[in-house]
Amino acid sequence: MAASAREPLVNRNGWLAFGLAALVVLTDQAVKAWLLGPFDLIDRAPVRILPFFQLNSGWNPGVAFGIFHSHGDLGRWLLVGFAACVVIALGLWVRRIDRTLSGAAIGLIMGGAIGNNIIDRVRWGQVFDFLDFSGLDFPWVFNVADSAISIGVALLVLDSLLTARPATT
């Protein structure tokens, strides 16, 4: 019997994405657990680290940068459901993606969505934010998962620009 030449269900870039997603989730949740637990940021905030950066304590019931508040339990669960659908769709897409940069970008987005929009909202009904760059006149407080989503989107745009093909006429 000849060996089957089937393609794997997940290629190398897909595994990269899933690994990065797991790393983002673990990092995001571990940092939040430490800041809310042993470090006790809620009672100590703000904690100045650099002239332009401090750790602060904030709860975000909204979506991005505190906008689109979830408006109670229905909104909370709609956001969780929407985030779960996005993560599943990205997971299906990334299984066989052919570009490494796209795989890394999608992994960052998936991990951020799982860490913020699923785990935090299921546990607390809102997202815990703590990275505060208000010393640079950046008005929003955010977290590791937010950073991963933002970097992932930027990398996805960069990858699309790098691989854009000129239109044929």
Specify whether 129 is catalytic: yes
Q: Which two tokens stand for residue 115?
A: 């860490």
Query: DSSP letters of the chain?
Result: -PPP-PPPSS-HHHHHHHHHHHHHHHHHHHHHHHHHTTT-HHHH--EEEETTEEEEEEEE-SSSTT-S---HHHHHHHHHHHHHHHHHHHHHHHTT-S-HHHHHHHHHHHHHIIIIIIIIHHHHSSEEEEEE-GGGT---EE-HHHHHHHHHHHHHHHHHHHSPPPPP-
Q: Catalytic residue among 28, 120, 129, 159, which?
A: 129
Residue type, 47: V
73 is catalytic: no
Q: Which of 120, 132, 146, 159 is catalytic?
A: 146
Active-site residue set: 129, 146
